[in-house]
Amino acid sequence: MRRVFRLQTLIYLLLFTSMIVLNSCQTSSPSVKPKPALPDLDPNESIYLDPEAAYDMANLQEVVVLYDDQFVADFSTQSRSLRPPQAYAETLKRGNRLSTQAYNEVNGALINAQSIANLVGGSFGFKASIAPVSDYQAGDAFKVARVIYMGSTYDHPIPQALIDDTAAGAPVTWISYNIWKMGAANLASLGLEYVELIAAYSVEAAEMSYNKIEYRGYDFPKAIVGMDIIHMNPLDPSVKVLAEAKKPTGERIPYALQSGNFWYIADLPTIYISELDRYMVFADLLPQMLGLNRTCSPRAVLRVEDVKAYDGADELARVFGMLEDLSVPYGIATVPYYLEELNNISLTFRDSPAVLAELLKAQASQGEIFQHGTYHMYQGLANPVSVSGDDWEFWNINTNTPIDGFKDWEALKRIRDGQTELRNLGLDPIGWITPHYAAPIDFYPQFKRAYWRQFERRLLAIDDLVGGQLFPYPVRDYPDRTFLIPENTNYLSNVNPLSNFIERAKANSVLDCPWLGMFIHPYLFDPAYTGEGATSVAEFSKFIGELRSLGYRFVAPSKVYINPVNGTTLAAQKVPFVSNAVVQSSKLCMDADSSPVFQYDCSTDPNQLFSFRLLAGTSSVYTIKDNASGECLSVEGSSLDDMVPIVRETCTDAPNQQFRLRNVDTETYQIVSVNSNKCLDIEERADFGGARLEQRGCNKTLPTQQWQFEGKYNN
């Protein structure tokens, strides 16, 4: 019964984590329609270089997170013939459509493993992978930077190889259950002793158990809903006790211990997390486990939430002006299109020129634009009220599942539409914020295609288990390595007043690299508003002063990076887009080593890289410059006939040097000459001794006119 109770408790705690994400800020299934084309390629879509774009990812050190992969039904045997869970990679691929399956502990273990893998991405130079503990083989831990075994299931079988390697000094972190399987002798060799598992069978028992974790003088609360903790004692004075668990009556036991390469955490810190939870302790210790010694001054980052065409220009002027007066740089979560379906209201910023003027003014000063969804609602679905800003856009909140029939490529097209709208208005979005932080996990790689920088928490989902994660510092998520700016205070409201923000700032200040991420809604500062969360400019100004007295300084969202190591960091820079161009017919690259231009085997030669420059006064016309020669591609002469070769000429922006990129499908494009409205074509002709670029009448079905662009960013 004890084991069963613990597993049931884990279910409740994991399910509760979904509230962290889904409380942030369909009448019928949509019919199947033909896959629409994406907007024309915009080579300036991410004008800020993703710092990892120029980094050799092979240099990243690997951290392997091991999870419990055996089901309760198999507990009667230590057999290695385990009933395998669905492969995690396959789960990602199929998009985690939630099913009616009952919760199982393997799903919970996978979500916890995902949480830890995300945190690994907060340390520069490291990457995470996830594997079942049953796959562990002798010597594995000696081949990577660290193995983190997450003991989420009571009495789960442990491979003898992991026990032996841990005792032999491999870099291993052991979390929570099953440490007793190491055996007394092996633990003693590490200077440790297993004492007991301390259970908490009820809320009342948990309240009197070890429900606070003291770390560097601050007491981080531990969830009081039936959570076990393991008592381990240090036997050797060389063992470091880095945090202690405390009872209300004052008794203490070690919570986080280090013995050489071995680290131990006495409970599972990634369940039932909150902004002040002992999860923060584990997150802070993780870089130390990787051998990093970091100290950073406290930093804060802020955004103004849900800015829409429906808002009052005076509201925006008030909050933007307040932040300008306080010298606080800020992000602006901007919703390109506003809809109220029941009232038949549809607005863009073109319909609200005063609001647009405030956005442009803010952007010219300390404000930075983020795209916050495209509609911040899903048309045709009361989700829950069919109003932009209130509704979820990429998740069905009525069922807490993905929106039926909504595909990841549709989500990307939706984002591109909003991105194009903002740019056409003169707004330059530098990042993305998912409405209410909720989307199926297979959408996240598509989101990264539009924006490598995102300012949000993460939704985690495996089958019918949904949870969420906040971050106490910037991270690269697993497995897509999207860069996430931390938001770890939640939004300002009656139940989350500024005093809560200050307490979280105090808690974070004991961490090695304190971050405080927050967001505010502009209507809260309207003197006429007296509803939930109403705040005066004077109150907020006092709050900013208190934060600064605690050592926090505000940084612009675009200046947030992974915490530096030994003074080294990767910083985003404004750089031009460059790309090679691969033709679908031959899979060879456009090559400007000669003039006329031919195609050759793809390589890293500069003559196969082209820069795209948007022509002034246009939104979609580009010159295409060969990076080797510095000359521009041109349709030779003024003839509009077919079979005119493509050559290199001194860049003059002449009409014969102007091109549009027309979408054929989600990955391929035609290159259209503005001068002739004809397409660049690869035509194999014996008299030229190869395949030469020419212009021909556009035909989207011809693979010789279909190009893929493998984009890069260069200084």
The residue assigned the tokens 């662009």 is 709
Closest-CA residue to 69 (of 38, 119, 105): 105
Contact between 174 and 264 under an 8 Å Cβ cutoff? The reply is yes
DSSP structure string for 348-378: EGGG-HHHHHHHHHHHTTTEEEEE--SSSS-
Q: Tell me the one-letter amino acid at 581.
A: A
Cβ count within 10 A of residue 681: 25
Q: Give burial (CB, 10 Å; 0-12/13-18/19+) of 506.
A: middle
Q: Give burial (CB, 10 Å; 0-12/13-18/19+) of 186.
A: middle
| Per-residue confidence (pLDDT) for residue 223, from 0 to 100 | 77
Contact between 555 and 510 under an 8 Å Cβ cutoff? The reply is no
| Per-residue confidence (pLDDT) for residue 713, from 0 to 100 | 43
Contact between 465 and 85 under an 8 Å Cβ cutoff? The reply is no
Contact between 694 and 683 under an 8 Å Cβ cutoff? The reply is yes
**DSSP single-letter state for residue 103:** P
| Per-residue confidence (pLDDT) for residue 692, from 0 to 100 | 85
Taking 50 as the pLDDT cut, the residues of the chain under it are 1-23, 26-41, 44-46, 72-103, 566-568, 686, 688, 713-715
pTM for the predicted model, two decimal places: 0.78
Over residues 8-24, the pLDDT tens digits come to: 333 333 333 433 444 45
Rg, the chain, Cα only = 28
Closest-CA residue to 280 (of 198, 219, 209): 219
| Per-residue confidence (pLDDT) for residue 237, from 0 to 100 | 95
| Per-residue confidence (pLDDT) for residue 224, from 0 to 100 | 72
| Per-residue confidence (pLDDT) for residue 196, from 0 to 100 | 95
